[in-house]
Amino acid sequence: MYAVPLQEAEVAAVPGSDPLEGLLVQEQQRQVYEAVLALPEAYRETIVQSAVLGLSDAEIAALRGISQESVRQLRHRARVRLKRMLKEEEP
């Protein structure tokens, strides 16, 4: 399986932006980062390869030796799980 390193990205400060809004964005990014890390490996790799690395379904399928339909299913299941996990974190 193709391993994808996932490192926490820092939020760049936007000149003229509200510092509180920047903190809220950082907190949201932290929550997403932690939720992605908590996904099962197959889901995590699919999300990272698709959303972070920008690979197409065909590229991901070729790298992992699976069908494009499997890539779409994994990505869909990962998104559903992420949405549920992030919803549980809401106050």
Rg (Cα) of the chain, in Å, rounded?
15
Give one DSSP letter per residue of 31-56, joined into a string: HHHHHHHHS-HHHHHHHIIIIIS---
What number is the average pLDDT over the span 51-79? Answer: 97
60 C-beta neighbours (distance < 10 Å), count:
23
- 7-47 confidence digits (pLDDT tens): 544 444 555 678 888 888 899 899 999 999 999 999 999 99
1 C-beta neighbours (distance < 10 Å), count:
10
Please report the pLDDT score of residue 41 as a whole number: 96
Measured distance CA(55)–CA(38) in Å, rounded: 22
pLDDT, averaged across the chain: 86
Whether the per-residue pLDDT at 54 is higher than 50: the answer is: yes
Measured distance CA(52)–CA(14) in Å, rounded: 21
Please report the pLDDT score of residue 15 as a whole number: 55
Whether the per-residue pLDDT at 53 is higher than 80: the answer is: yes
Whether the per-residue pLDDT at 6 is higher than 90: the answer is: no
